[in-house]
Structure 1
Amino acid sequence: MGTPGSSSETEHLLRWAELKTLGRLRSASNVVLLCELESQPEEFLCVYKPVRGERPLWDFPEGSLAGREFASYLISEALGWSLVPPTALRHGPHGWGMAQRWVRAADGSEDELVGFYSLDQVPAGWLAVVLGSDSNGEEVALAHADHPRLRQLAVLDALLNNADRKGGHVLLDEGGGVWGIDHGVCLHEDPKLRTVLWGWAGEPIPPDQLADIGRLAASLDGALGKELSEHLTEDELTALGERAERLLAGRAMPVPDGDRVLPWPLM
């Protein structure tokens, strides 16, 4: 069987193909395993996050992170934006969990979309988000690219109420595609948006994206809402609809509100 050519084909494989564990990604706070899929080329890998490996959080229901990752993927696909890698829920070597296609990030600092820079070395056209000092007392900036797909990801994060958009959760793949990963702490009913992508705060949302958000809001009363209800509470679904309506009414990106608007660590 060759490499799948669509999100639905990939999702089917992620759901049903046998997984072979290659190793654990130690940098993650929860258990994340890199796996091969049976009968697939070597370049087709996935990350598998078993529910039993989720670290309990005080503000999110225990055992809910895998479902939130899948719900975030469903929302990205319903919008037609394909910003979250194909994702499925399944049984695996360590029980029920989430499987997501592995994104091979482009090599080299020139292919990064978010980074720290000396103030005089921020790339032309980039947007500085945070100013501070390094260990030597030199002024530095956390900045991100002014990239249309990255900007679209920032809109998605506002919808998802993403509480953990670190710079390392934004990937530019080998073909130039932009992806957002690690959506386990999204879709809470309380405001929790914490992101490094504040460069477009207060700026207009493109009309075509507003139209997509409008269609999404309408679909929450139908099949999409029913599927999301398997992974989110009624209050969380209601809050998702309210966030969509606020974006439609304001027609602009949110602005930082309060003290906790950045994830930690930033990268």
Structure 2
Amino acid sequence: MSADGDPFHTGELSVIGRITTASNLTLVCEVGDGGERVVYKPVRGERPLWDFPDGTLAGREVASYLVSRALGWAVIPETILRDGPLGAGMVQRWIESVDSADPARLDLVDLVPVGAVPDGFREVLRAVDGSGAEVALVHADDPRLRRMAVLDVLLNNADRKGGHALEGADGGVYGVDHGICLHSEPKLRTVLWGWAGEPVAEELLADVAEFVKTLPGEVGDDLAEHLTDAEIEALGRRGRRLLDDPVMPLPVSARPIPWPAF
């Protein structure tokens, strides 16, 4: 179906709820008569950030999706900029996540007691929870999540919280909330440090190499609607750096993890 005939692009948005844990106004909507659920973040609901003065957070969400799409990675759900009940904003397809009713089942990013990291997970750091118990922040050692970690390096994601990595009911792993990405200065903050210092998979590098080649053309033109020239140039540099030194970076700042972590 073309964009012109897809309710996601043109259908009326009806607000059915609000995500109250989000920093900026984030609404859950149904679109058109079919009842498809989407996330809608109106530009007018954004709180200005002094260190991201250019463009809009909604535009950065769209730009992040465009990068994921250009790489051929279905990491970020389809995200567009369109009109809604509160004006222009980001609209993103809803991800139906895996039912986590089983209390023994860990999320992709979770907390476990120190010394009890299960098989298939990597420890990122140790801390003390609200009750004073020592806990370890862990994430799944999953190639789908590892691809997201590589994408975050390219996006210079300053806010990869645990709750921003979703395991979809369709078997995919998706990243959401990319409003503070793609700055020209290093700002990587993420909970996905478990692969730091390890080589990037060859198949991912091949996609990055193709992306770097196509960036100066149509991809860059599309990104220019949402980013500054300096930010697009910095994106290309990050891609070339990863190809020249194909290793996942190590934390370099005093604050390598966003807060709160979830």
TM-score tier by shorter-chain length is over 0.9
Alignment partner, residue 238 of structure 1: 233
Alignment partner, residue 28 of structure 2: 34
State the 1:138 CA deviation. Answer: 2.6
Q: 1:114 aligns with which of 102, 109, 122?
A: 109
Alignment partner, residue 97 of structure 2: 105
Alignment partner, residue 165 of structure 2: 170
In structure 1, runs of 5+ residues without a counterpart are none
Q: 2:189 aligns with which of 178, 190, 194?
A: 194
State the 1:263 CA deviation. Answer: 0.3
| Contact 2:123-2:136 at 8 Å conserved across structures | yes
Identity level (%):
54
- The two structures, once aligned, show a CA RMSD in angstroms of 1.7
| Contact 2:4-2:10 at 8 Å conserved across structures | no
Alignment partner, residue 16 of structure 1: 10
Alignment partner of 2:44: what SS?
helix
- Give deviations 1:86-124, integer Å, cap 9, x for gaps: 111101100011100111221215251000110233221
Give distance in 2, aligned partners of 1:94 and 1:68.
19
| Contact 1:51-1:63 at 8 Å conserved across structures | no
Q: What TM-score comes out, normalization by structure 2 length?
A: 0.94
State the 1:12 CA deviation. Answer: 4.4
Alignment partner of 1:143: what SS?
strand
Would you say 1:256 and 2:256 are equivalent positions?
Answer: no
- Give the partner amino acid of 1:48: Y
Alignment partner of 1:251: what SS?
coil
Give distance in 2, aligned partners of 1:158 and 1:117.
26
Q: 1:66 aligns with which of 58, 61, 79?
A: 58
- Give the partner amino acid of 1:68: R
Q: Which runs of 4+ in 1 moved over 4 A?
A: 8-12
Change (3 A) 1:245 1:135: same
Alignment partner of 2:216: what SS?
coil
Change (3 A) 1:127 1:11: farther
- Give the partner amino acid of 1:101: R
Give distance in 2, aligned partners of 1:191 and 1:202.
17
Alignment partner of 2:255: what SS?
coil
Alignment partner of 1:85: what SS?
coil
Q: What TM-score comes out, normalization by structure 1 length?
A: 0.93
Change (3 A) 1:94 1:132: same
Alignment partner, residue 81 of structure 1: 73
- Give deviations 1:18-41, integer Å, cap 9, x for gaps: 11110211111100110001122x
| Contact 1:204-1:253 at 8 Å conserved across structures | yes
Alignment partner, residue 211 of structure 1: 206
| Contact 1:52-1:63 at 8 Å conserved across structures | no
Alignment partner, residue 57 of structure 1: 49
Alignment partner of 1:68: what SS?
helix
- Give the partner amino acid of 1:241: G
Aligned pair count reads: 259
Change (3 A) 1:217 1:12: farther
Give distance in 1, aligned partners of 2:147 and 2:7.
27
Alignment partner, residue 126 of structure 2: 131
Would you say 1:144 and 2:144 are equivalent positions?
Answer: no
Change (3 A) 1:111 1:122: closer
| Contact 2:120-2:142 at 8 Å conserved across structures | no
Give distance in 1, aligned partners of 2:93 and 2:229.
29
State the 1:135 CA deviation. Answer: 3.5
State the 1:11 CA deviation. Answer: 10
